[in-house]
Structure 1
Amino acid sequence: MAVHGIDLGTTYSCIAGVDEVGRPAVLRNQEDADTTPSVVFFETPDNVVVGATAKDSAVIEPDLVVSRIKRDMGHEVPRTMHGREYTPEEISAFVLRKLAEDARLVTGETVQDVVITVPAYFGAAERDATRKAGRIAGLNVIDVLSEPIAAAITYGVLNPGQDCRILVYDLGGGTFDTTVITLRGGDIEVVCTDGDHELGGADWDDRLVEHLAGRFAAEHPDVSGPLDDKQTEQQLRRDAEDLKKTLSARTRHTVRVMHEGRVAKVELTREEMEELTRDLLDRTVEITRRTVETARSKGVDGFDHLVLVGGSAKMPAVAERLHKELGVAPRLQDPDLAVAKGAALYAFEETYRRLLGAGEDDRAEEMASRAGLSTEQRRRISGRTIKTVASRSFGVVATDRDTRRSYVAHLVHANDPLPADVTERFATLEDDQSGVDVEVMEQAGSVESEEIADNNLIGRGLLKIPRGKPAGWPIEVAFALDSSGLLHVTARELETGERLELRIQIGGMSEEEVAGSRSALARVHVS
């Protein structure tokens, strides 16, 4: 049975499988490229184009093209196209369908069972939205896996038998995170993680766009600014991305900025680009330092390898700065493809273990034989453990009975080991209170805070209380955060006899909406 790993990226995505000798391999798309731009062009209500052609179309019809949708996952930020609203989950589902269909054309096998990766710093709502996007695309999502863990799996396979401590620096197109991981006897344990899901290579592109537009405006002050025209802006964004990539290999490059019949030749050196974006790199270094300090507080006082992941980590300034700051020579470990390959390996191993656990030894044996696994490889896979931590703190809104001040009572804290099961008791405020509004909150900033404004509301529900109960009547809230970072919340009223339980919906789309979207979007052609 074929299983696949998908790196669903902000700017580029890719899909990988396990070949006949047990090695991960990226499956190229119909355009014969390893990665597919995460761009969706709504050509008509019934035809959607994904990838390079969609990216090209952004210059001509920018209002019908959506990019960087990953930054909106877990948030209710719909896009209206041809009179229909599309959620971030639905738009991401189109990208997933493109990847799956291209893989089918390459292998001849239908893509069904997948592991989709997410940034380590993604919270419960974003992870839940990613899983739902996969289901809308018609896929069976085995698991949602943190990108640094996927990269560590790839690293461990490429460097077998090494026990080491790894700092993964993952600078993708739209997100950034750092994670300290230990590899011991093939087992993987996440020590701690930190990051910013609104910081990535796209921000370097934005800075270059502003620079190019500013240079044009200075040279041609008598015409409108390039960013006032959507088509010119889209062309500038393409030019900026190409400029960033070019300056990773060359020391200077010239861009022709064209707008309203005028042309400005803008030359930029690598040093000038690094100066323009220095504060962005500074932010990644600050987060990296914070991660190293957290790891030290947990008993990991250093690391053996610094692994760079994500396409934007290829910028020379990244390795130079990290080497200077940390004193360790960084390794570029297949930065564009390592995550998808690791996800494919994880999908394979997890499926193999589940088959053995379910007593389906024959199917597990067939799977291992098809991949050409040795007896030692099978033993290692069946025994491998992966331990991870919470990316953020989670809690509920509580109110002090004396001061009536509302605050966030955190039940799970950032970098707590997963899975985590925490139960805490609260109480009603008023006599004869008919219900309690349970509001589930997630840490929004870089540090935990009990201030409501420093947290995001990710779920809520009403728990009914029997009539006639006095103030201070006990209720119980239980948080279960699984190893994938998906949160399940249960609230109970504790009166003897009748037990009222409430499952709180985390994320924007309900299960019914997901099923409806899967059915409706199946009729849309994706190419």
Structure 2
Amino acid sequence: MKMAVHGIDLGTTYSCIASIDQVGRAEVHRNQEGSDTTPSVVFFETWDNVIVGQTAKDSAAVYPDDVVSLVKRDMGHGTTRTLHGRDYTPEEISAFILRKLVEDVKVTEGAEVCDVVVTVPAYFGAAERDATRKAGRIAGLNVIDIVSEPIAAAITYGVLNPSQDCRILVYDLGGGTFDTTVITLRGGDIEVVCTDGDHELGGTDWDSELVEFLAERFRQEHPEVSDPLDNKQTEQDLRRLAEDLKKTLSSRMKHAVRVMHEGRVTSVEMSRAEFESVTRHLLDRTIAITRRTLETARSRGVTEFDHLVLVGGSSKMPAVAAALEQEFAIVPQLRDPDLAVAKGAALYAFEETYRRLLSSGKREQAEEMALGAGLSATQQMEIEKRTIKTVASRAFGIVTTDKRTRREYVTHLVHANDPLPADVTQTFYTLDDDQRRVAVEVMEQAGSAESDRLDDNNEIGKGDLSIPPNKRAGFPLEVTFTLDPSGLLHVTARENETGERLDLDIQIGGMSEEEVLMSRTSLSAVQVS
């Protein structure tokens, strides 16, 4: 049985998986239900039987307490969901989605999935990226790399236009996250200039506005019954109606739905203009972030753009293209928005595996892999020399204390949009005589702008570093932040005076390595379908 590398778009609302076919093209694998994409919804029917996808989504109306959706928004936050008496982390729930994608490839095509690249929003921080990697490991996969969704989309675009040097603005509006990224393509090389976004803004927020709109119309017509949003089953029905209404209004000018609750029925007709008016504030938020991204790009020498590429299923709403063209005077291009990210991840996975084989001296194996994909010698040379450069999505630092005022603040070592990989070392000093320990608290920028206030940053890891005895205040400590091209962070704190090197590896994210291994073992007994 032939092994292949795969790219996975692990989306907030829909996910899909792709690989390279025998003629070098990225191909999305359909699930057992015959669809290119699988809803990222998990139904815990029993403790040992989990259902993922459309059936799980349909079950939400009947079993709302046993269905989990939008888990991507919880990645890296350390939250848990209790189902059938067991607490599940976001990594574990995401692992079930990954297992469904992998199992479908095995059943429908007889192909084993082992080595994968998983995509994340460009604005995901270190904790979210680390959690995504761990989800893959819990699912039994070898995660080669984590790659940002706009980069994956740009790879797909670059393959379609291999000889074209250009500057691209990627507008990625998915089901639960939004990113906007400026990318340059030069001689096949891909370079991220800057990125910005909001990982709690996406198509599901448009749905929520429609849910409230439909519920309010029902309340006005039937004030004598309870609020439909107080009933979990009715709320799930409204969410299904809202999503269908949103999608229908992308192709029709008006549409009607029926809201049912406690034996009452309200027929609600909505026009596209009404829909766009109700949700305009959400679209305006994406425009503001895009405008901010362009300002950063201009400060880095990119003042004009050749293409504005729309990615993500929610970017298909007509109002999106219209608003972007009016605001930025660029005609947006909607190219395979649902599948472009998974295809780009597959291309990246293939190329990265090929380059790693070459770098490890396995040229024969690399060439066999390339020939299996129908690549010519010229194409192989292009892959070998291609580079991908990206930037930090946010600022990262540690908590420090002012010696005089004892005010705590954040000192950032890595800043948003710094080129990656980044390797920064800074010296800090103890505050007191005979201080025996230092708490190293790793912080990540939380808001849209860098700030040294603790409230404007999130703690993503911490640990203690021991100090030798009898040291005066001002004893030096070195802290090193290493942020790799995938956006994964490694932090080391050390003191060197005694000749003994003390390293402190900060655990980023919610799950430890031991917990990941335990979850992989315990959840392997759970049936996923």
TM score, norm. by length of structure 2: 0.99
| Partners of 2:443 and 2:24 in 1: CA distance | 42
- Aligned pairs for 1:73-472 (under 5 A) are 73-472=75-474
For 2:504, what is the secondary structure of its paired residue?
Answer: strand
| Partners of 2:502 and 2:24 in 1: CA distance | 49
For 1:245, what is the secondary structure of its paired residue?
Answer: helix
**C-alpha displacement at 1:387, in angstroms?**
0.2
Out of 502, 510, 513, which is 1:511 matched to? Answer: 513
| Partners of 2:197 and 2:391 in 1: CA distance | 13
For residue 478 of structure 2, what is the aligned residue in structure 1? 476
Q: Say whether residues 1:64 and 2:94 are aligned partners.
A: no
| Partners of 2:275 and 2:41 in 1: CA distance | 25
Q: What CA deviation, in whole Å up to 9, does each residue of 1:425-470 have, x standing for no partner?
A: 0011111111000000000000000000000000000000111111
**C-alpha displacement at 1:107, in angstroms?**
2.4
Moved more, 177-186 or 361-370: 361-370
Q: Which amino acid aligns with 1:243?
A: L
Moved more, 359-368 or 46-55: 359-368
| Partners of 2:73 and 2:118 in 1: CA distance | 16
**C-alpha displacement at 1:313, in angstroms?**
0.1
| Partners of 1:365 and 1:302 in 2: CA distance | 39
For residue 496 of structure 1, what is the aligned residue in structure 2? 498
| Partners of 2:404 and 2:306 in 1: CA distance | 52
Q: Which amino acid aligns with 2:42?
A: V
| Partners of 2:123 and 2:109 in 1: CA distance | 33
Q: Which amino acid aligns with 1:516?
A: M
Q: What CA deviation, in whole Å up to 9, does each residue of 1:16-66 have, x standing for no partner?
A: 010000000100000000000000000001000000000010010000000
For 1:500, what is the secondary structure of its paired residue?
Answer: coil
Out of 8, 11, 15, which is 2:17 matched to? Answer: 15
Moved more, 487-496 or 437-446: 487-496
For 1:359, what is the secondary structure of its paired residue?
Answer: coil
| Partners of 1:165 and 1:333 in 2: CA distance | 16
| Partners of 2:468 and 2:216 in 1: CA distance | 64
| Partners of 2:363 and 2:480 in 1: CA distance | 36
| Partners of 2:110 and 2:368 in 1: CA distance | 18
**C-alpha displacement at 1:404, in angstroms?**
1.0
| Partners of 2:173 and 2:345 in 1: CA distance | 17
| Partners of 1:237 and 1:464 in 2: CA distance | 53
Q: What CA deviation, in whole Å up to 9, does each residue of 1:164-210 have, x standing for no partner?
A: 00000000000001000000010000000000000000000000000
Q: Which amino acid aligns with 1:254?
A: A
| Partners of 1:83 and 1:323 in 2: CA distance | 51
For 1:476, what is the secondary structure of its paired residue?
Answer: strand
| Partners of 1:235 and 1:380 in 2: CA distance | 51
Moved more, 20-29 or 106-115: 106-115
Q: What CA deviation, in whole Å up to 9, does each residue of 1:47-87 have, x standing for no partner?
A: 00000000010010000000000000001110001100000
**C-alpha displacement at 1:106, in angstroms?**
2.5
| Partners of 1:106 and 1:473 in 2: CA distance | 62
**C-alpha displacement at 1:499, in angstroms?**
2.0
Q: Which amino acid aligns with 2:305?
A: F
| Partners of 1:497 and 1:393 in 2: CA distance | 32
**C-alpha displacement at 1:363, in angstroms?**
1.1
**C-alpha displacement at 1:496, in angstroms?**
2.9
| Partners of 2:476 and 2:355 in 1: CA distance | 42
Q: What CA deviation, in whole Å up to 9, does each residue of 1:364-394 have, x standing for no partner?
A: 1111111011111111111110000000000
For 1:506, what is the secondary structure of its paired residue?
Answer: coil
**C-alpha displacement at 1:521, in angstroms?**
0.5
Q: Say whether residues 1:49 and 2:51 are aligned partners.
A: yes
| Partners of 1:296 and 1:198 in 2: CA distance | 26
Q: Which amino acid aligns with 2:69?
A: S
For 1:501, what is the secondary structure of its paired residue?
Answer: coil
Q: Which amino acid aligns with 1:118?
A: V
**C-alpha displacement at 1:213, in angstroms?**
0.4
| Partners of 1:331 and 1:232 in 2: CA distance | 38
For 1:255, what is the secondary structure of its paired residue?
Answer: strand
Q: What CA deviation, in whole Å up to 9, does each residue of 1:387-408 have, x standing for no partner?
A: 0000000000000111111100
Q: Which amino acid aligns with 1:343?
A: A
| Partners of 1:236 and 1:405 in 2: CA distance | 49
Q: Which amino acid aligns with 1:384?
A: R
RMSD of aligned alpha carbons: 0.6
| Partners of 2:28 and 2:308 in 1: CA distance | 24
| Partners of 1:516 and 1:478 in 2: CA distance | 30
Paired residue total: 527
Q: What CA deviation, in whole Å up to 9, does each residue of 1:319-374 have, x standing for no partner?
A: 00000000010000110000000000000000011111111112111111110111
TM score, norm. by length of structure 1: 1.00
Identity of aligned residues (%): 75
**C-alpha displacement at 1:494, in angstroms?**
2.5
| Partners of 1:500 and 1:377 in 2: CA distance | 47
For 1:422, what is the secondary structure of its paired residue?
Answer: strand
For 1:516, what is the secondary structure of its paired residue?
Answer: helix
Q: Which amino acid aligns with 2:190?
A: I
Q: Which amino acid aligns with 1:180?
A: V
